[in-house]
Amino acid sequence: MSNKNKIARQFFDPNTVPLEGSLGILALGDIGFDAWRKVKKENNIKKINEKK
């Protein structure tokens, strides 16, 4: 992996992706989008569990 990709990942922490998402996340491309979808999925699961 090139240095550039390492640098990109250092600035992107998937754990800080907000539920609402952001243009910045979308601009990151597939890794940002994947991370955001995960957050949304986890949030849905959480809501379902809470209802239960």
Partner 1 sequence: MKKNKLLLIGWDAADWDIIWPLIAEGKMPALKKLIENGVYGNMSTMNPPYSPMLWTSVVTGKTPDKHGVLGFIEVSPDATTVGPVTTASRKTRALWNIFHNKGMKSNLVGWWPSFPAEKIDGYVISDRFSKTHRDPTKATPISELAIHPWDKKDDFKDLRMFPFEITQAHLYPFVPRAHEVDQENHKGLNAIAKIVSANTSLHNAATKLLRTTEWDFMAVYHDMIDHFCHSFMKYYPPKPPSVNQKNYDIFKEAVRGSYVFQDMMLERTLQLIDDDTTVIVMSDHGFESGAKRILDMPKVQAAPALEHRQFGIFVASGPNIKKNEKVFGMGLIDVAPTILHHFGLPIGRDMDGKVILDIFKETTPPAYIESWDKEEGDFADLEPTENEDTLSDEETLQQLIDLGYVEKLDEKFEVAIKKTRIDLKHNLARVYLGKKDFDSSKKLLLELLEEEPPTDLAPFLMDLISIAVMEKEFEKANDYLHKVKNSKTQVKYNLDYTEAQILTEMGEPEKALVILEKNKETNTTGEVLFRIGKLKYQFRDFENARVILEEAIEKEPQKATYHAAMAETLLQLDEYEEAAEYALTSIELVKYYPNAHFLLGQALEQLGDLDNAKIAFEMASKLKPKEFHPAKQSLENITKKIELNLSFEDDVTNVYRENQITLVSGLPRSGTSLMMQMLDKGGISILQDKKRVADISNPKGYYEYEPVMSIYKDNSWLEKGQNKGIKIVAPLLKYLDNQYRYKIIFMKRDLNEIIQSQQKMIGKNEDVFPVKLYNQFQKLLANVQVWDKKQPGVEILYIDYKGLLIDPEPQLDKIEKFLGVSLNKEQMKSCIDMSLYRNRS
Binding footprint of partner 1 on the chain (CB under 8 A): 2, 4-5, 7-8, 18, 20-24, 26-31, 33-34, 37
Distance CA(17)–CA(28), nearest Å, equals: 12
Distance CA(22)–CA(37), nearest Å, equals: 12
CB of 52 to partner 1, least distance (A): 25
CB of 27 to partner 1, least distance (A): 4
Alpha-helical segments (H) within 12-29: 23-27
CB of 31 to partner 1, least distance (A): 7
